Amino acid sequence: MAYFDDLSPHTYLPHARDWGRTVLSVGWLDASHEHRTGPTPEDFRSALLRQCTKEKYRVAQTRGFHRCNLPPCDKSEFWPPITVATAKGEIPLGSAEIRVEAKDGVVFAAPNLIYHYVIEHGYQPPDDFVEALCR
């Protein structure tokens, strides 16, 4: 998995849908780097689930899957991928990115594995990202 500090310029798989706008990284975590943890609002978690699992929101889809190496998870085996249960069945995470646009036009780029990080590891994304996703 690639690691990027939260709110650093996004340089992993730049995508044409960004149209030259400022794109900042969020949720590119790795066990060798600290990250913020804490509670997140229910409406944020619901919106994040929708964003990470609906095909229309996924960009930069890859053919492989990133794994979670955060303790105690350490799901480092290649298969099966990490999934999340939805009304439409199990959806794999870790093979695409999502984009979230803030009011000021800044775009946040996150791996769709961010949902797993929030729910299973208590990751607390930057407030600007949370606010942008909930608006």
Phi and psi at residue 111, to the nearest 5°: -70, 145
Q: Is the pTM higher than 0.85?
A: yes
**pLDDT tens over the chain, length 135 residues:** 688 999 998 887 665 456 667 889 999 999 999 999 999 999 999 999 999 998 777 777 667 677 888 888 865 566 678 889 888 889 889 888 999 999 998 999 999 999 999 999 999 999 999 999 998
Contact 96, 51 (CB under 8 A): no
Q: Which residues are CB-neighbours of 56 under 8 A, at least 6 positions away?
A: none
What's the alpha-carbon Rg for the chain, to the nearest Å? 14
Cα-Cα-Cα-Cα dihedral sign, residues 117, 51, 42, 108: positive
